[in-house]
A and B are shown apart, each in its own frame.
Chain A
Amino acid sequence: MRQHKQLLSSYNDYPRVSSIVMRPEKYSHLKSLPGPVIARGSGTHPTDGAIHENQHVVLMERLNRFLSFDEERAILQAEAGVTVGEILRFFVPRGWFLPVLPTSSKSTLGGCVATDIHGKNHHHEGGFSKHVHSIELISFDGTAKKCSSKEEKDLFFATIGGMGLTGVISEVSLKMIHVETAYMVGKRQLAQNFDQLFQTFQEAAAVGRYAYAWVDCLANGKGLVVHANHASLQQLPQHIEEPLNMVGKSRCCPSLCLPNWVIHPTTRRALNRLYYQYQSRRSSDFLIDCSTFFFPSQQERWRSKKGAVAYEFFVPKQSAYKAILKVIEALSKSGFSASSAFLQVCGKGSEGYLSFAKEGFAFQFSLPLTQDSPFAFLNQLDQIVLEHGGHVCLAKDVRLQPHTFRSMYPQLHKWQNIKASCDPRMHFASNLSKRLELGNKQ
């Protein structure tokens, strides 16, 4: 297999490092990977978990074949490089839908498993891994192991949310759900302040299968609450003749590299206000096709030349309101040009040892990297999150400190035991595993 040096970065262009990349095109190529190595999907997460400075990175993009689909049990088996957008393109017209969707249509199945993504419907459907029937994992010696919640249980729970550090995920089988139409029907509600927003959001999450809130962090948490359900055939207007036709194309927004004065909080505030005004003039009820709903063109891809840094944290239900309000206040005081944030509600968590979402709320935003570095500020936020019993999402992290990380994830030692037994020579490693000292057993 040919390999060469290439600059790779996280989705937010930070950090940017040179790695030795390989791109297998045949399944058998996965069995003889030189180490240390990490698999990379489409790189749609703002994490340093899919890059490895001066070491090997395997691009999984060409291992993207559907292998089987069992219509009776609704189980799709595919190679890990298949993207979510591709699955929707072929399966929505046949009446099938993915149970949990990431925010980018380019995310691969392998990436979704490795980060155990949580969608806008976590309170309803749980995380991605809950719907994974089984996975095939290539371990350091090239042997393929099938794991599921019944077979090789420990390895399975270490792999979901395990950031690809237990092996290369080569195949994924997952359960699909049935839909009648490719449309979403739902409602937008505006909120003047965070109090109102939090209240409305909880009500919305109770009625909507999918729910999220857009929060303006620079204006004391006013925002927009959206909830939606899959539209049934009766709910569609007459003029739509093919209910399962995906009309909207999944759009991708190129990252906008802007000068520092444009990314200034004042511009951000003004734009947020405009967006809010625009939303207040739109009708509150909507019926849109699923790709427009799930993959909106992201306005959050502004960054300076150096890139941006994302921050997502989870807090349990009891302390959520207090913690999130504290973070919003800190953000509006800090003088950083924080992007607007997304609030999501999470249901029962998965059993993955490093899985992110548990019962509570998830809150995410990003900060552009300008002259004054936001890292010290984010360390302060870590303390707020930790005080309220929360933790930071690994799939969106490039800067967490190892000691904070250890106190956030109490099941880490279990994960480390499994890592030590399945990969004793640290064959699978990334910038993230080095930074968080994931290999070093405590």
Chain B
Amino acid sequence: MKPVLILGATSSIGRAIAQTLAEEGNPLYLAGRNRAELDRIALDLKLRYRVEVFVSLYDADYPLENEKFLRQALHRVKGFRGVVVGLGEFCDQQKAMHHFSEVKRVIDRNFTNVSSIIMHCANYFEKEKSGFILTITSTAAERGHRQNYVYGAAKAGLNLFLQGLRHRLSSSNVQVLTVKAAFVDTAKTFGIEKWHRAISPQELARESIKALKSGKHEIFVPWSLRYLMFLVRALPERLYRRKL
């Protein structure tokens, strides 16, 4: 069986998705920035689920290396069944309001560099005429909010990118799944106050893989947000422009 490529495997979301996939017997190819962590996660997955796990260093901050990375990975394994993109980073809006360097960093990390690797993967899967691209994005992209519009803008760009890609790849049997997640309980969001319960990475992983198997294109996690987000999009912008 061909492995699934997991980008950003050392993040808690990446690890949870890797676990869910391994539980079903999928071999994995973990890619991330921290070699020691990757090795630990690989040992864990091998021991728990007895699947084959490859690890490889991958830094999304160098988009020009992406083609080389994919080529080398494909040299090691015969091919990929699909790719899970767990890249991106929650950002500090306060900093991004005043420093352009921060805005650039956030947009690069969440959009530019991510779309680069997705592009290379998409070309590979298009050639193979099978595969899937599972990308985690955010509900912050549904509407510009004053608290996180920089992050939201980057994710919104990614959403549109994926939407277009989906249309392009629909004829070559490649599933492009966009997972729009609400607040996930990760290292970057630990302790941030929120008005609803943060979803656990495991919950997100389970829902994503379920959607993947049932051939969906776009889901919200938790699913109930689908209706709420419809409302958020439908409300006139005037309502958001209130003075605080």
Contact = CB atoms under 8 A, between A and B. Distances in A.
Contacts of A65: 40-41, 43-44
A35 to B, nearest CB: 20
Contact of B48 (A4, A27, A66, A68): A66
B189 to A, nearest CB: 8
A69 interface: yes
Contacts, number: 45
B36 A28 contact: yes
Interface string B26-53: 0000000010110011011001100000
A73 interface: no
Interface string A1-26: 11110100000000000000101011
22 contacts: A4-B190, A4-B191, A4-B192, A21-B191, A23-B187, A25-B12, A25-B186, A25-B187, A26-B10, A27-B36, A27-B37, A28-B34, A28-B37, A65-B40, A65-B43, A65-B44, A66-B47, A66-B48, A67-B47, A68-B43, A68-B47, A90-B47
A305 interface: no
Nearest to B185: A23
Contacts of A66: 43-44, 47-48
A26 B47 contact: no
A62 interface: yes
Contact of A67 (B43, B186, B187, B188): B43
Interface of A: 1-4, 6, 21, 23, 25-28, 62, 65-69, 79, 90
Nearest to B37: A26
B187 A1 contact: yes
A68 B36 CA distance: 15
Given A2-B190, A27-B37, A67-B47, 8 more contacts: A2-B187, A4-B191, A6-B191, A21-B191, A25-B12, A26-B37, A65-B43, A66-B47
Contacts of B37: 26-28
A28, A62, A69: residue with the most chain B Cβ atoms closer than 10 Å: A62
Range for the number of chain B residues in contact with chain A: 10 to 19
A51 B128 CA distance: 55
A246 to B, nearest CB: 15
Interface in B12-35: 12, 34
A1 B190 CA distance: 9
Interface in B154-211: 186-188, 190-192
Closest CB pairs A-B (n = 7): A4-B191, A65-B44, A66-B47, A2-B190, A25-B187, A66-B44, A26-B37
A21 B44 CA distance: 26
Contacts of A90: 47-48
A63 to B, nearest CB: 9
Contacts of A69: 47
A67 B191 contact: no
Contacts of A67: 40, 43-44, 47
A21 B190 CA distance: 10
A2 B192 CA distance: 9
A232 to B, nearest CB: 26
Nearest to A89: B48
Nearest to B10: A26
Contacts of A62: 12
Contacts of A79: 40
Nearest to A2: B190
A67 B191 CA distance: 29
Nearest to A94: B50
A221 B82 CA distance: 63
A27 B40 contact: yes
Contacts of B188: 2
